[in-house]
Chain A
Amino acid sequence: MKHIVKILTFHTWLLPIYFVVSLGCYGLLMVGVGLIQFPTCPQEAVLLQQDVVEAKEYLRQKGVDVGGCD
Chain B
Amino acid sequence: MEKKNKYSIIVPTYNERLNIALLVYLVFKHLRDVDFEMIIVDDGSPDGTQQVVQQLQDLYGHDRILLRARPKKLGLGTAYIHGLKHASGNFVVIMDADLSHHPKYLPSFIKKQLETDASIVTGTRYVKGGGVHGWNLMRKLTSRGANVLAQTLLWPGVSDLTGSFRLYRKSALEDIISSCVSKGYVFQMEMIVRASRKGYHIEEVPITFVDRVYGISKLGGSEIVEYLKGLAYLLVTT
Residues of A that sit less than 8 Å from B by CB: 23, 26-27, 30-31, 34-35, 38-42, 44-45, 48-49, 51-52, 55-56, 58-59, 62-66, 68-70
Contacts and interface: CB of A to CB of B under 8 A. Distances in A.
B52 to A, nearest CB: 6
A7 to B, nearest CB: 27
Contacts of B52: 64-66
A66 B99 contact: no
A34 B149 CA distance: 12
A45 B133 contact: yes
A64 B147 contact: no
Contacts of B144: 30-31, 34-35, 38
B26 interface: yes
B237 interface: no
Interface of B: 17-18, 21-22, 25-26, 47-48, 51-52, 55-56, 59, 99, 102, 125-128, 130-134, 137, 140-141, 144-145, 147-149, 151-152, 208-210, 213-215
Sorted nearest first, the 3 A-B pairs with minimum C-beta distance are: A41-B131, A39-B131, A34-B144
B133 A44 contact: yes
A59 B25 contact: yes
A31 B25 contact: no
B44 to A, nearest CB: 17
Contact of B133 (A23, A35, A40): A40
Nearest to A57: B25
A55 B133 contact: no
A50 B148 CA distance: 35
6 contacts: A39-B128, A49-B213, A64-B56, A65-B48, A65-B51, A65-B55
B21 A64 contact: yes
Q: Pick from B18, B131, B137 the residue with the most CB of A within 10 Å.
A: B18
A23 B152 contact: yes
A48 B134 CA distance: 13
Q: Pick from B17, B47, B127 the residue with the most CB of A within 10 Å.
A: B17
Given A34-B126, A44-B102, A64-B21, 10 more contacts: A26-B152, A30-B144, A31-B144, A41-B132, A41-B209, A42-B133, A55-B22, A59-B25, A65-B48, A65-B52
A40 B209 CA distance: 9
B26 A70 contact: no
Contacts of B152: 23, 26-27, 30
A39 B134 CA distance: 12
Contacts of A26: 152
Contacts of A49: 213
Given A27-B152, A38-B132, A69 B17 contact: yes
Q: Pick from A27, A39, A40, A69 the residue with the most CB of B within 10 Å.
A: A39
Contacts of B18: 66, 68-70
B47 A56 contact: no
